Chain A
Amino acid sequence: MNAPFAGKDGEAAFASLCDALRPDLFRFAFWLARDRGVAEDVVQEALLRAWRSRESLADAAAAKPWLLTIIRREHARLFERRRHETVPLDELVADGSPELAADDTDQETLDLRRAIFALEADHREPLVMQVLMGLSTQEIADQLGLTQAAVLSRLFRARQKLRAALGVPAGGEAD
């Protein structure tokens, strides 16, 4: 399919797509940045860039990974800038950040949220891509510039760490 988001129909289709994906794009950006304000800025800027470039997207099925790529680039840009301007990352992501408890979430979910928050980026990002965004391990490998085997290893480790943090019995090895 050529330029599925060109023309008036394409504009409407792209607007619908962004509308549907925006919540998860925000969540993805949040787990990337671990900061709601940064996530909002990243998503705004990314959608602006995506809107301008929408006609260059030749395959509608690739829209989600394409948007994720733009989100990741915007995050990298913003993070690099803010790293020099503002607070140290350790302060930004202090355990128990009120951002995680800002709603009426149950304790179990809150604990898990904190555990995900505390994961290293190398483990957190592929996990979010897989569980939240529904990317395949190959798509994650493409996004991160890793081999599929490396992605599988990180995903396994990420779940293992979460289980350990929550005291859930280990499941990675034979019982």
Chain B
Amino acid sequence: MDCLEFRRIAGADPQHVRGGAREHAADCAGCAQHLQRLRAFDERILAALCVPVPAARGPRVATTASGLDRRRWMALAASIVGGVLVGSLLWVGSPRSSLARDLVEHMGHEPHSLTSSAPADGTTLESVLERAGIRLRPGLGTVSYANSCEFRGHTVPHLVVQTERGPVTVMVLRHESAGAPVRFDEQGFSGSIVPAGPGSIAVIGGAGTDLEQVTAEVLAAVTWL
């Protein structure tokens, strides 16, 4: 692959440069630098795309252009509130699960994962995500740790993301299904396990960390391949 071909490929999808293109970047300093610039520009594009989002609308009487009426909206709102309520009950009332214990114990095996806030090596992160069959949208926060870990008989991505609420550990559990969101407090950590893709995602922070927003952001950022 020559530089021109590499730049055509990277210019269309700079976050997922694979195979021959990746090998080319490893051998060509100019193209590696070019790729970094493309990725930095993508971060700017993402920031620009993230326009402010209005608060969710509640039920309303006024019809939209599509002719929604109050009754339909009430039905939808009731359904959603019901769903959230079920989720909330499970969130608060769930007993300690063995999965939660295993997650926190696993974190204990890798205490170094929380010691640095510097960005993890990009190539390592890419490899961890690729192995897990997921993509992580840029903009979630700085990923300061990325490792492919053995967990309950499977290789899973173990990430640490620096957020406004402090570092949180994210483990993407393709093989662990969760019927509903579960919250846990275990050994000084607070965590949540939420259904996602074919399995679930665990988000774990320090004791008392408000994880609701972070968990929503993680859910929205992970794409399953």
A interface residues with partner B (beta carbon < 8 Å) = 1, 4, 8-9, 11-24, 26-27, 30-31, 36, 40-41, 44-45, 47-48, 51, 59-61, 64, 74, 77-78, 81-82, 85, 99-100, 102-103, 108-109, 112-113, 116, 127-128, 130-137, 151-153, 155-156, 159-160, 162-163, 168, 171-175
B interface residues with partner A (beta carbon < 8 Å) = 2-4, 7-9, 11-13, 16, 30, 34, 37-38, 41-42, 44-54, 56-57, 64-66, 68, 72-73, 76, 79-80, 82-84, 86-87, 90, 135-138, 177, 179-181, 194-198, 215-217, 219-221, 223-225
Q: List 9 A-B contacts (CB under 8 A).
A: A15-B84, A16-B195, A16-B219, A24-B220, A48-B72, A61-B224, A156-B11, A162-B45, A173-B4
Shortest Cβ gap from A22 to chain B (Å): 7
Q: Is the interface of A mostly helix, strand, loop or mixed?
A: helix
Counted as pairs of residues, one from A and one from B, with CB atoms less than 8 Å apart, the total is 182
Contact B195 A134 (CB under 8 A): no
Q: Residues of A contacting B90 with CB < 8 Å?
A: 12
Shortest Cβ gap from B44 to chain A (Å): 6
Report the separation of the CA atoms of residues A152 and B73 in the bound assembly, to the nearest whole angstrom: 40
Contact B48 A113 (CB under 8 A): yes
Q: A44-B64, A44-B68 are in contact. Are A137 and B12 (CB under 8 A)?
A: yes
Report the separation of the CA atoms of residues A123 and B60 in the bound assembly, to the nearest whole angstrom: 35
Question: Which B residue sits closest to A65, measured CB to CB?
Answer: B223
Q: A12-B87, A44-B64, A159-B41 are in contact. Are A60 and B52 (CB under 8 A)?
A: no
Report the separation of the CA atoms of residues A160 and B198 in the bound assembly, to the nearest whole angstrom: 36
Contact A48 B83 (CB under 8 A): no
